[in-house]
């Protein structure tokens, strides 16, 4: 069975933008959700040092996972075992893994519209059914506990994004807690995309892990640390899923791995690449 999947139009726009730039036109890139700054100087220096001195091979980093666990404790006040993190080759594979390990074919997964188009495309590619919920200005273009309560039948899962792409809106802590309560009561699995954490300037961003420890969280250093190119991702998994999370590492500095609980998208191939406060936006 084949599935019709719409093109990811940002790719075509990016190709056009690069052609115009090569032709001498001045271009301001707005087609992708990525920072205009580069990665932290310390991260680049550490990567150079490792590539110059280490033969690499299949890769895994317990120190990096330990540092990530510390980050979650300091930033969100949640306890995460380092083994609950699985590194991936960018955040998109972490999203695919989270969905593939959580749902069965034809399961319905709710998401907000407007929203990141790759959610819908990925769900379709995996033979799941995206249930797009129109979310207007009154709810700041975000899903709410009230909407999830009213869905009949209840979906198998929901994708939450806070801050959201493309709207940039944030779900307050009280609403995240209410969403978590509804999902527990109705048996809805939560996938929380938190890749834009660290880029909020008017209110704190709360992790869904503060309210639902079984949620799957996708995160990354691509945005807050300005490093989309290394394609290093990770995701945090729920403890009962540990047996399902078998690493699939690739050669070189950017390993890839899987995790079955909460995913996080990330940057660095060595623990020294992590900024001291990875969630803090750089000026």
Q: What is the pLDDT of residue 273?
A: 35
Which has the higher per-residue pLDDT, 60 or 273? 60
CB 59 within 8 A of CB 249: yes
Q: What is the pLDDT of residue 242?
A: 42
Reported as a pLDDT band with limits 50, 70 and 90, residue 30 is: confident
Strand 216-220 relative to strand 157-161, pairing: unpaired
Reported as a pLDDT band with limits 50, 70 and 90, residue 130 is: very high
Q: What is the pLDDT of residue 89?
A: 80
Looking at the predicted structure, is the pLDDT value of residue 254 above 90? no
Phi first, then psi: give them for residue 83, nearest 5 degrees. Answer: -70, -10
Round to the nearest angstrom and report the end-to-end CA distance of the chain: 49
DSSP E strands, 79-173: 85-88, 108-113, 129-134, 157-161
Looking at the predicted structure, is the pLDDT value of residue 248 above 50? no
Reported as a pLDDT band with limits 50, 70 and 90, residue 259 is: very low
Reported as a pLDDT band with limits 50, 70 and 90, residue 11 is: confident
Phi first, then psi: give them for residue 133, nearest 5 degrees. Answer: -105, 115
């Amino acid at each position: 069975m084949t599935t019709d999947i719409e093109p990811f139009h940002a790719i075509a726009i990016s190709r056009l933008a690069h052609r115009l730039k090569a032709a001498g036109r001045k271009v301001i890139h707005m087609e992708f959700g990525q920072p205009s700054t580069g990665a932290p100087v310390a991260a680049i220096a550490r990567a150079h040092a490792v590539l110059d001195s280490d033969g690499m091979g299949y890769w895994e980093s317990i120190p990096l996972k330990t540092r990530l666990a510390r980050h979650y404790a300091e930033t969100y006040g949640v306890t995460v075992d380092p083994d609950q993190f699985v590194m991936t080759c960018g955040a998109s594979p972490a999203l695919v893994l989270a969905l593939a390990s959580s749902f069965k074919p034809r399961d319905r997964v709710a998401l907000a519209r407007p929203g990141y188009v790759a959610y819908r495309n990925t769900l379709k590619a995996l033979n799941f059914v995206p249930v797009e919920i129109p979310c207007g200005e009154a709810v700041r273009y975000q899903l709410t506990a009230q909407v999830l309560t009213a869905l009949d039948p209840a979906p198998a899962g929901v994708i939450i994004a806070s801050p959201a792409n493309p709207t940039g809106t944030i779900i307050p802590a009280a609403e995240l807690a209410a969403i978590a309560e509804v999902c527990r009561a109705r048996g809805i699995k939560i996938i929380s995309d938190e890749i834009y954490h660290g880029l909020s300037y008017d209110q704190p961003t709360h992790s869904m892990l503060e309210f639902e420890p079984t949620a799957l969280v996708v995160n990354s250093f691509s945005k807050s640390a300005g490093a989309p190119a290394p394609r290093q991702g990770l995701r945090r998994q729920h403890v009962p899923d540990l047996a399902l999370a078998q690493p699939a590492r690739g050669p070189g500095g950017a390993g890839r791995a899987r995790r079955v609980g909460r995913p996080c998208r990330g940057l660095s191939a060595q623990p020294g690449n992590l900024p001291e406060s990875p969630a803090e936006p750089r000026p």
